[in-house]
């Protein structure tokens, strides 16, 4: 996945003592995305806006808030999270690389 004509924010968003790191990019039309890496572990994130998480490297397991089923997400797959919700993401083995798009 590549993006052209973007503005990248150099300062990273760092979560969970450096085990999740992302950078924000702003597309030419003003939309924002974050690109990042998740090291092995289990992490919970809350959402304000709905999100689409594209996994571009590695794999993970995801449980959406309120769900009982675990989704296994591989490279070149994605999952979506509703607004005002959250998810738990678990990474085992290799780091998981992602692109997060904020949905309207």
> pLDDT, tens digit, for every residue of 46-61?
999 999 999 999 999 9
> Contact, 56 vs 50, CB < 8 A?
no
Percentage of the chain beyond pLDDT 70 is 100
What is the pLDDT, as a whole number, of residue 94? 96
Is the model's pLDDT at 1 over the cut of 90? no
Radius of gyration over alpha carbons of the chain, in Å?
Answer: 13
Which phi and psi (to 5°) does residue 27 adopt?
-75, 165
pTM: predicted TM-score of the whole model, two decimal places:
0.92
Q: What is the DSSP letter of 67?
A: -
The two tokens of residue 100 are 């997060």
Q: Provide CB contacts within 8 A for 48, sequence distance 6+.
A: 83, 84
Dist CA 61 CA 51 (whole Å): 16
Q: Please, what CATH class does the domain formed by 7-103 belong to?
A: mainly beta
What is the pLDDT, as a whole number, of residue 104? 76
Spell out the domain ranges in the chain.
7-103
């Amino acid at each position: 996945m590549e993006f052209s004509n973007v503005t990248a924010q150099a300062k990273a968003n760092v979560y969970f003592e450096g085990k999740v790191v992302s950078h924000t990019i702003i597309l030419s039309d003003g939309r924002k995305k974050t690109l990042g890496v998740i090291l092995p572990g289990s992490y919970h994130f809350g959402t304000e806006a709905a999100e689409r998480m594209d996994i571009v490297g590695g794999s993970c397991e995801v449980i959406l808030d309120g769900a009982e089923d675990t989704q296994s997400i591989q490279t070149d797959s994605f999952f979506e999270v509703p607004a005002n919700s959250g998810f738990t993401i678990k990474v085992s083995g290799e780091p998981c690389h992602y692109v997060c798009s904020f949905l309207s």
